[in-house]
Structure 1
Amino acid sequence: MYLNAHSQYSLRYGTMPVPRLIEEAMARGVTQMVLTDINNSTGAMEFIRECREKGMKGICGIEYRRDKKLLYIGIARNKEGMRELNEFLTHHNLNSLELLDQAADFANAYTIYPYGYRGKLRKNKYIGIRADELHFLFNADINLLRNKLVVLQPVFVCDKLEYRLHEYLRGIDLNLVLTMVTKEDKCARTDCFLPPGELESRFSKYAFILDNTRALMDSCSMNEYNSGRVNLNRKTFTGSKKDDRELLEKLAMGGVEYRYGKSNKEALKKVKHELKVIFELDFCAYFLITWDIIRYASSRGYYHVGRGSGANSTVAYCLRITDVDPIELDLYFERFLNAQRTSPPDFDLDFSWDEREDVQDYIFKRYGAAHTALLGTMSTFKDRSVIREIGKVMGLPKAEIDGFTDPTRATANRDNPTFKKITAIYQMMQNMPNQRSIHAGGVLISEEPITYYTALDLPPKGMPTVQWDMYEAEKIGFDKYDILSQRGIGHIKEAVRLVEENLGKKVDVHQVRKFMKDPLLNNKLKIGDTIGCFYIESPAMRQLLTKLNCDSYLVLVAASSIIRPGVASSGMMPAYIRYHHDPSKVVYLHPVMEEMLGETYGVMVYQEDVIKICIHFAGMDGTDADILRRGMSGKYRSKKEFDRLVERFFEEARKLGRPDETITEVWRQVSSFAGYSFSKAHSASFAVESYQSLFLKTYFPREFMVAVLNNYGGFYSRWLYVHELKKAGANVHLPCVNNSLATVSIVNEDAYLGFVGVHGLENRFMDLIPEERISHGAYISAEDLIKRTGIGIEQVVILIRVGALRFTGKSKKELLWEVHLMMGQKPKPSNNAELFQIEKKNYAMPVLINTDLENAYHELELLGFPLSMSMFDLLKTVYRGQVRVSNLKQHIGKMVKMVGLYVCEKTVHTKNNKKMWFGTFLDADGNFFDTTHFANSTPAYPFRGHGCYLIAGVVVEDFGFPSIEVKKFAKLEILPNPVMD
């Protein structure tokens, strides 16, 4: 009799997750029930699946509300009905339309209006009446409604405790204190499951209403939805599976010749093996659609990086989906696709941040709006900020809430009764769905209209988005295509354009094999000169590259993996570095370990290493090896299946004559590593892009650094990339209205900062100023600029202060006087005729100059860094330290003093939960050095933001990389702002 049950997916309203909603219903003898979450169908497929498993009949629908008002409830009779309900909601969501008072006339779905509805009740339309509304039927003529009345007993909460939770959820949703949450804002206290038989008892005098309700529910069936996972993605690319197979084979074989030449038997054999698996598992369309996406992007001149587990596929390499060669790197196809894999494989396709949206738009247009959608995500109540929200709902003052969210006061708060109450509510809310959002890049392409499975939202991204996340998509049967964006590709694309524009040279950045053999590039890797280069510019990565003397692609691939937190914290990173410098110290457990892990000195660095050992040491096949790897990462289908494979590992190894002690130790290493291992295909993909960036940085450093600046930088602050641009030999100029564009521009060796980096300047003027200049010529004065652009006084003052009008030859102070006289005072109109014409007085202006220090302060304020002076020149002291980076190695083990310009810092927690810090600085020569700050020597947090610091510490060396263990540390004062004196 429950036509109107709600789960937690009725966000900030319902309190029960889908499985518990079903359990609570079954505990009260309910055999069939309708899930009708508010304005969404997020939980519909999960509800059907869970009901089947529990032996209950699940029916789906949607409750439609406008603001807080219940308009009507839609209940699907079948799969087609669910599509109608989803499409009705989707139409309103995608077109930003308010729901109307009346629903559409659904052919395969019922509409239930609340009691009091006065419209016409056509076919499939009913009125729901609550038990507390039955008195309205007393002495009323209900003959016309007799066949249209059904039981309406909403379910939102489980019990009184959850009703209180519901009130808090409503307060958070409406941003109101509890006392301000009205009756209309929340459900009734009785909106829950009733004891067995009670609902029927309440309607006993109106048995026909019960009969109508049963008949309605009995007529509904969700059996058309598949039980168990099936592939719901688009089934063919060409329209025919036969043609798909032939096309994929043709493309793959053509790709073998392109990638490997005409007579590479190993490549041919591997491709044929992969094609056989792809055909058997019905993944032709998946490969061809991915190839089609890349083909479109390439036709537009877009760059891409293909990574993810798909980079393990030689077919993908031959189709140019990825530039990673699985044969060269000994990658296992089974890591990507095998007969036993229960979760869908995927390709991660990275595009430049400003090109991804066009690629997504192509996918929507090529495969149809009805069959294409972005993947959603579901954020949950799991952040400590929820405590702040609960405190606000309770009406607590801000100071008290701040105290409850301060981790340093955890002990003091423990016995506070208010805090105990907040914690109890927080624990109930923890991990509850909070709001729907959008996945980083997942796209779904379905065979059937996607509205059979979900309604669609239109988030700020502006593209239709499903109402469930990737985990639910996987369970339903959808394989996503990851269309991602990153700044690194933007750097490469922009740099290539600038090289052609500025130097007249065409650059092919896809000659990666050639780059990998270039000694100049490899030398930059070796010394860590990688600022601006994708994935290898962070302090930790530059340190690692230096410690490894990294001078090859394979070592870079390994570095890209061992830098990951899991491998680094396990002790495998120092072991790898140690063995890299002295391979003679490696002790292999078994000859197979030497054969399979010789490249990484017996250290397991990649996920693929787990598969290798399982295959070659334990004699397992590739499919079982990958399942075992996934199981050790917590991704097994069942514990029983996982235990069987563990047992098989030992059994098969014994059959090969491996000693028991060795098997046990190998298993220990494999099982302890697999949980945090990183895919070699991922590392290899990153390394390819790193080499592309490094090539541009090496041969076209100025254009490359301008490209980095124009694509929102990277790991570091903007000023550091300007510093690197100067080091590359560019004459870097302040913004100028007669030379600058919105972004940084470069002509020969002259680089002009753009207007984008000027704080306070409005976006429209960033574009308008250069557009007007390009269209109608250079500006000749401040007045000319003002007249042609219509710029206001506040904005023109910003331009003057940043130096953008220096072409006039006038000082900033003169220009400020000029524009204030021009714009700041408007004479009052006068109707009186002048009797005498008074001669105008011409006042002589005093000499107004700006000092370098004043200019530096203007730049600090408006750019975030001084360009005309260095931060060292701004210091009160002329002291620059005892040593510089150039002679740091001569002082190993000694106490030194250095002056460093702060670049960045990183906070970490030690094993005993104490804080320590790592810092990165520039010396007065502009060279990098790194510091370590231990908790015992720097108990107070030492960093005070951007500026120069006096650093006293001991010089230490680790595999040739020097750094400072800090003992004393203080920020140095700069000269005062003369304007403030």
Structure 2
Amino acid sequence: MSTRPDTDPPRAAAPRETAFVHLHLHTEYSLLDGACRIRGVVERCKKLGMPAVAVTDHGNLFGAIEFYSAAVSAGVKPILGCEVYMAPGDRRDREAKWLGDSNFHLLLLAQDRTGFENLIRLTSAAYIEGFYRRPRIDKEILRAHSQGLICTSTCLKGELPTALLKADARVARQMAETYLEIFGADRFFIEVQNHGLAEQAATNPELRELARRLGVGLIATNDVHYLDADDADAHDVLCCISTRARRSDPNRFKFESQQFYLKTAEEMAAALPEYAEARANTLRVAEMCNVELDFTRRFAPKYAPPDGQDADAYLCALVYAGARERYGELTLELTERIDYELSVIASKGFSSYFLIVWDFVRYAREHDIPACARGSGCSTVVGYCLGISQADPLRYELYFERFMDPERDEMPDIDIDLCQDRRGEVIEYVRRKYGHVAQIITFGRLKPRAAIRDICRVLDVPLADADRVAKLVPEELKITLEKAIEREPELKRHYETDERLREVLEIGKRLEGLARHASVHAAGVVIADVPLDTLIPLYKPADSKDTVTQYEGPTVEKVGLLKMDFLGLRTLSQIHLARKLVERHHGVRLDLENLDLTDQRVFELLQRGETRGVFQFESGGMRDVLMKMKPNRIEDLIAANALFRPGPMEHIDEYVARKHGRKRWSTPHPIMTEVLQETYGIMVYQEQVSRLVNRLGDVPLRRAFRLAKAISKKKESMIAAERGPFIEGCVRRGLTAETAEAIFADILKFGGYAFNKAHSTGYALLAFQTAYLKTYFPLEFMAAVLTYESGNTDKIAEYIDECRRVRLPDGTVGIAVRPPDVNESEEFFTVVYPVEASAARPEGHSGNGREQVRRCGVGEVNGEGSVTRGAASPRAAAPGAGAPPRGPAQGHIRFGLAAISGVGHKAVQAILAARSAGGRFRDLFDFCERVDLTVVNKAVIEALIKAGAFDSTGAMRRALINVLERGMELGQEAHRDRRAGQLSMFGAFGPAEALPPPRIGSEEWTDAEMLAYEKATLGFYITKHPLTEHEDTVRRFADTTTADLIRRREAEPVVLAGLVTKVRAVPIKFGRSVGKKLIVATLEDFAGSIEIIVPPERQDAVLPVLRPDAVVFVEGKVNRRREEPSVQVSRVVPVQDAVREYARSLVVRLVSGEVAQAALPRLRDMCRQHRGSTALYIEITSLEGWTASIRPRECSGVHATHEFLRACRELAGVEEVRLAGARG
């Protein structure tokens, strides 16, 4: 952080005798070593009047283009360089003997374009060929790529200073002569530095003498690692973060002075007063460096059409063929749109781009890999006709200009969503076909919360304090610590009153946002027509074989390369798996891309908000929107998707009121009415904003889209430029200037958060597909959803709870999700339908839930005891098809074996292979005899037993644990016998004569023990939940669940019910209650778990009830100030008292006739014994059909305990007992 004001005027150029240029400087891209931000470096040099500056990050060119652009824009000459790591021998030698000498440094600066290209090759080779703890080159490759480069001997870690510090002047001279031979006297310089270090004071005179003897130039540098002198402490902490050291450790690595900042020319003169020539030589070097980069060139590969056809003509032919398939009749509107798009694409030379995208999307689909465009890529009719997108731009009024500006020379950008499991196959196809392909680097940065935690660790701040302070920073995309301190009173109080935390936050403000580490972008891939290392520097992650760019995505595009985003979308994988399960079990091949989008059964599911698992519509807030909106057309889903985000969310109620006719709406002009008709007069989409500007303001559509983008990015100059033309156009349309101004003001207001309709449309269509699957094929859909949430126990618990409530096509409710079973489970979740007789298992059955669906055909057996149904040739389902052939209530979802903690992929495959080869496992001993016990070891089998996976054998779980060791002994003996060629002791004489295995007892764990083991092995309860016996009470009186808490407002009162699983005390170290303790407990319900917090003043009343394993109701207020919502507790009610506390009334309905008369006296006595505050009503239905409701005078209220309710239900003559409502 600079201490100088940003308003300092630039200095005049310094006299040549005192002028200086920094040639050795590390930015944040010397990861966790440099702390300079590029913009700060350029601005500082400009203010200091320095004509040029070099960036020489360690081993890489990560920031080269960002630096070049920033410097050119500021009028400062950029010098592109790198401080490379030199291997002492061959760069490919990774023997440990080199470990102590593998970190020599050498500084290289590019003189011209050739030099920069060589720097690219060298830094690429350093990662791809020479990486050993550091990216290294050697003298062999340096000699081959030295043209256009200037070399300096660098810092104390260079070979020359290292030799001199060892008093070996002969080796130092030999090294210098080698570099002199490679670069020549005009391009090799010896470097002197002074950071106040004794070693530099000792070596500088020797380095100067060596330069004199060899006749080479001497340059002065400062090894800049941070911008200002007062950044030294923050940089020291950064180094500790890098080395995972604590600042208090006296033996840690650290910079030995605080002189590694960007000094002024005067400060450099003071540091090296006797080296005036060396300082002056920095200007000489700067004058020698003149790299000019051309960002107008393009290096996209060319698609080669068959038979030597022209790319433009081939694309045109493909598009028209696709148009006939998509649309049938080619209308004038359609052909004009196609011809317009094709003409723009051809004029820009982008036909090959579209053909490449078409090619790999076609490949994906031909290989059963779901793929489709997202975002603006849905806006082009060409893409739709090629099958790249599934959204019809004509139907949904999506505009080509939203995708590609005809007047701007920008590469097109179609993001492609792919099945996340097989995304790599598509990338590999592109690599094989087009050759020069790499994934794209991205940088993880020190975000405010992470910075606080890292700094606290370095400064020995206790972990609990670090976590608590970090969580006070709001979870917002662009939040800074400065803003967080201003907005969060508690954080501000810590900053002002706690000296230790103030230091943490001050250092955090200096370090936040710096690059922390390099990783691979989740989606980005770059494709070129020539070897990539001739164009851009390449990187190779230490733990990967993938080649990655050293430039981030925007930079890759800037230098002219084709970037494509191959995004793995879990929803596509879920849909794909669900379709395969439907095909396997019902013989129906679903055509989800041609569904009836008016299917009201699907919309009924959406209107009820039963959308857990439905893409984009499963959050609590979105479910609320759907229940209010009552969508009945696909356009409503598109709008809901766009409205449910900060900003436009405030217009949801208005949209709903207008949709249902509760509010009228109008506009000042018929054009506005027409453009906004779809969304009831509300500007929801950027496309609407652009269309209004175009049609009402008479502004060309391409400029209108530019304006829409400018509004969203708050580019005031572009907005101001279009205001006048828009007003003039509106006046020509008959509006007054005042009305036009008001409309433009509305456009600015709504356009600031209007959403990309193309994106919303593509995702609404996917959402409809998932809603369709949940409506008509709920078992297969939920099995797919559960499979792709494997590993997330909170989500699994939530979806299992949802399965209990799913409405099935036959009108019943609930899907059974059964525990893992060695005789029925596959690797992942699967659907099981019972059969009357077992059938042979398919040959080659693997049991892998995700992989198997690709290989299983219709009519195959799905595990023991179940079989698929359907015709030999599956039929395509008609859009809007009704319920599946088999009633879902007949089937269930079976847990996968991989869901069990401690049971890995190899063990699962071994179990499934044994089952496939030999059929069902009769018992534990049969299992141990047949599976590979070197893979399926004792720990695995214990986990299987505790998870209930052997329940189908009829044995008790505890009894199985008791005989497990003996079972494994017998199994190992059987394996030895088979290996020795002997007969199995269990199978020697056939089943009838086999020796019986040891008897398995009947002992069993208690319910509590059994559930505890399930929780330990599966992460949640599956056989039953401790809440199950209280489920009616919980669902009746709790007004929210742990999963739905996320949609509740800050401080909103709530009532939750659940099982207390953990209670702990946390000391309060700040504020009015310092010295006291907070009680923090975990409350678990059917949908998940949350933390509940009991403040000191409530603890006396709450703690007697709040204990582990207790089922309770919790009253309190929502706390949203941390990452996950919690509840501030005001009251806790035991479940036994819930009815008494929350029920308004109890209704006991009696059957008619004499039985009712006989029941009344007994009922009266019971009520007198249980007097309480719950109002009692007795209903009697006469033989004639009328009903009388009586409130007994002698007992108008009862204490409605579980025991009392059970006794009422068991009383002869009582037809129904029901509780009415809950207390407000």
Deviation at 1:758, TM superposition (A): 1.6
Matched, 1:73 2:73: no
Q: Find the partner of 2:678 among 592, 599, 605.
A: 599
Residue identity in the other structure for 1:535: Q
Query: Equivalents in 1 of 2:368, 2:37: separation in Å?
Result: 47
Matched, 1:743 2:828: yes
Query: Equivalents in 2 of 1:769, 1:692: separation in Å?
Result: 35
Deviation at 1:80, TM superposition (A): 3.4
Query: Equivalents in 2 of 1:254, 1:692: separation in Å?
Result: 26
Q: 3-state SS of the aligned residue for 1:480?
A: strand
Query: Equivalents in 2 of 1:373, 1:917: separation in Å?
Result: 52
Q: Show the counterpart of 2:611.
A: 530
Q: Show the counterpart of 2:581.
A: 498
Q: Show the counterpart of 1:415.
A: 497
Residue identity in the other structure for 2:146: A
Identify the range of structure 1 (88-97 vs 139-148) with the bigger mean alpha-carbon deviation. 139-148
1:921 and 1:929 in contact (8 A); partners too:
no
Superposition map of 1:307-706 within 5 A:
307-341=374-408, 345-369=412-436, 372-398=437-463, 401=466, 404-405=469-470, 407=472, 408=490, 410-447=492-529, 449-451=531-533, 452-458=535-541, 462-478=545-561, 480-512=563-595, 515-568=596-649, 571-582=650-661, 585-634=664-713, 636=715, 639-706=716-783
Question: Is the alpha carbon distance of 1:629 and 1:41 closer, same or farther for their aligned partners in structure 2, counting shifts above 3 Å?
Answer: same
Superposition map of 1:768-779 within 5 A:
768-779=910-921
Matched, 1:107 2:138: no
2:227 and 2:262 in contact (8 A); partners too:
yes
Deviation at 1:764, TM superposition (A): 3.0
Question: Is the alpha carbon distance of 1:768 and 1:92 closer, same or farther for their aligned partners in structure 2, counting shifts above 3 Å?
Answer: farther
Residue identity in the other structure for 2:921: Y
Please list the CA deviations of residues 800-855 of structure 1 after superposition, one character each: whole Å capped at 9, or x if unmatched: 122212344322222111114556999xxxxxxxxxxxxxxx99987524555654
Deviation at 1:442, TM superposition (A): 2.0
Question: Is the alpha carbon distance of 1:602 and 1:401 closer, same or farther for their aligned partners in structure 2, counting shifts above 3 Å?
Answer: closer
Query: Equivalents in 2 of 1:857, 1:952: separation in Å?
Result: 27
Query: Equivalents in 1 of 2:270, 2:1131: separation in Å?
Result: 80
Q: Show the counterpart of 1:234.
A: 300
Query: Equivalents in 1 of 2:831, 2:208: separation in Å?
Result: 87
Q: Find the partner of 2:948 among 803, 825, 829.
A: 803
Residue identity in the other structure for 1:361: E
Query: Equivalents in 2 of 1:123, 1:974: separation in Å?
Result: 88
Deviation at 1:308, TM superposition (A): 0.8
Deviation at 1:222, TM superposition (A): 1.1
Identify the range of structure 1 (190-199 vs 280-289) with the bigger mean alpha-carbon deviation. 190-199
Q: Show the counterpart of 1:861.
A: 1016
Deviation at 1:909, TM superposition (A): 8.4
Identify the range of structure 1 (98-107 vs 71-80) with the bigger mean alpha-carbon deviation. 98-107
Deviation at 1:309, TM superposition (A): 1.0
2:959 and 2:1001 in contact (8 A); partners too:
no
Query: Equivalents in 2 of 1:416, 1:776: separation in Å?
Result: 69
Query: Equivalents in 1 of 2:1132, 2:569: separation in Å?
Result: 36
Q: Find the partner of 1:789 among 928, 932, 937.
A: 932
Q: 3-state SS of the aligned residue for 2:1014?
A: helix
Deviation at 1:775, TM superposition (A): 3.7
Query: Equivalents in 2 of 1:101, 1:311: separation in Å?
Result: 46
Question: Is the alpha carbon distance of 1:872 and 1:642 closer, same or farther for their aligned partners in structure 2, counting shifts above 3 Å?
Answer: same
TM-score of the pair, normalised by structure 1: 0.83
Deviation at 1:597, TM superposition (A): 0.8
Matched, 1:759 2:901: yes
Residue ranges of structure 1 left out of the alignment (5+ in a row): 827-841, 885-896, 954-965, 976-981
Query: Equivalents in 2 of 1:90, 1:944: separation in Å?
Result: 60
Q: Show the counterpart of 1:172.
A: 241
Deviation at 1:471, TM superposition (A): 4.1
Q: Find the partner of 1:302 among 335, 360, 369.
A: 369
Superposition map of 1:48-59 within 5 A:
48-59=68-79
1:308 and 1:346 in contact (8 A); partners too:
no
Query: Equivalents in 1 of 2:701, 2:1110: separation in Å?
Result: 55
2:301 and 2:527 in contact (8 A); partners too:
no
Query: Equivalents in 1 of 2:625, 2:779: separation in Å?
Result: 26
Query: Equivalents in 2 of 1:948, 1:87: separation in Å?
Result: 66
Q: 3-state SS of the aligned residue for 2:768?
A: helix
2:944 and 2:950 in contact (8 A); partners too:
yes
2:955 and 2:1002 in contact (8 A); partners too:
no
Greater relative contact order (Cα < 8 A, sep 6+): 1
Deviation at 1:685, TM superposition (A): 0.6
Deviation at 1:262, TM superposition (A): 3.3
Q: Find the partner of 2:960 among 790, 803, 815.
A: 815
Deviation at 1:747, TM superposition (A): 3.6
1:907 and 1:915 in contact (8 A); partners too:
no
Residue identity in the other structure for 2:138: Q
Question: Is the alpha carbon distance of 1:45 and 1:917 closer, same or farther for their aligned partners in structure 2, counting shifts above 3 Å?
Answer: farther
Q: Show the counterpart of 1:129.
A: 191
Q: Show the counterpart of 1:60.
A: 80
Please list the CA deviations of residues 290-344 of structure 1 after superposition, one character each: whole Å capped at 9, or x if unmatched: 2122112112111123121121111111111101011101122211111345765
Query: Equivalents in 1 of 2:373, 2:137: separation in Å?
Result: 49
Query: Equivalents in 2 of 1:746, 1:277: separation in Å?
Result: 50
Q: 3-state SS of the aligned residue for 1:589?
A: coil
2:693 and 2:699 in contact (8 A); partners too:
yes
Matched, 1:276 2:343: yes
Query: Equivalents in 1 of 2:1052, 2:558: separation in Å?
Result: 43
Question: Is the alpha carbon distance of 1:631 and 1:344 closer, same or farther for their aligned partners in structure 2, counting shifts above 3 Å?
Answer: farther
Identify the range of structure 1 (260-269 vs 518-527) with the bigger mean alpha-carbon deviation. 518-527
TM-score of the pair, normalised by structure 2: 0.68
Deviation at 1:405, TM superposition (A): 4.2
Question: Is the alpha carbon distance of 1:973 and 1:621 closer, same or farther for their aligned partners in structure 2, counting shifts above 3 Å?
Answer: farther
Q: Find the partner of 1:880 among 1007, 1025, 1033.
A: 1033
Query: Equivalents in 2 of 1:723, 1:195: separation in Å?
Result: 66
Deviation at 1:486, TM superposition (A): 1.7
User: How many corresponding residue pairs?
Assistant: 912
1:793 and 1:824 in contact (8 A); partners too:
no
Please list the CA deviations of residues 343-375 of structure 1 after superposition, one character each: whole Å capped at 9, or x if unmatched: 655222111110112222222332223xx3223
1:900 and 1:949 in contact (8 A); partners too:
no
Question: Is the alpha carbon distance of 1:178 and 1:813 closer, same or farther for their aligned partners in structure 2, counting shifts above 3 Å?
Answer: closer
Task: State which structure, 1 or 2, has the greater radius of gyration over its C-alpha atoms.
Answer: 2
RMSD of aligned alpha carbons:
4.2
Q: Find the partner of 1:904 among 1043, 1047, 1072.
A: 1043
Query: Equivalents in 2 of 1:347, 1:618: separation in Å?
Result: 30
Q: Show the counterpart of 1:978.
A: none
Query: Equivalents in 2 of 1:183, 1:534: separation in Å?
Result: 50
Query: Equivalents in 1 of 2:585, 2:235: separation in Å?
Result: 63
Please list the CA deviations of residues 506-537 of structure 1 after superposition, one character each: whole Å capped at 9, or x if unmatched: 2222223xx31333323323333333222223
Question: Is the alpha carbon distance of 1:342 and 1:907 closer, same or farther for their aligned partners in structure 2, counting shifts above 3 Å?
Answer: farther
Question: Is the alpha carbon distance of 1:588 and 1:529 closer, same or farther for their aligned partners in structure 2, counting shifts above 3 Å?
Answer: same
Question: Is the alpha carbon distance of 1:476 and 1:715 closer, same or farther for their aligned partners in structure 2, counting shifts above 3 Å?
Answer: farther
Q: 3-state SS of the aligned residue for 2:330?
A: coil
Matched, 1:154 2:223: yes
Residue identity in the other structure for 2:216: N
Q: 3-state SS of the aligned residue for 2:405?
A: coil
Query: Equivalents in 1 of 2:768, 2:395: separation in Å?
Result: 17
Residue identity in the other structure for 2:509: Q
Residue identity in the other structure for 1:793: K
Deviation at 1:238, TM superposition (A): 3.1
Deviation at 1:285, TM superposition (A): 2.9
Residue identity in the other structure for 2:951: R
Query: Equivalents in 2 of 1:23, 1:823: separation in Å?
Result: 73
Deviation at 1:249, TM superposition (A): 1.8
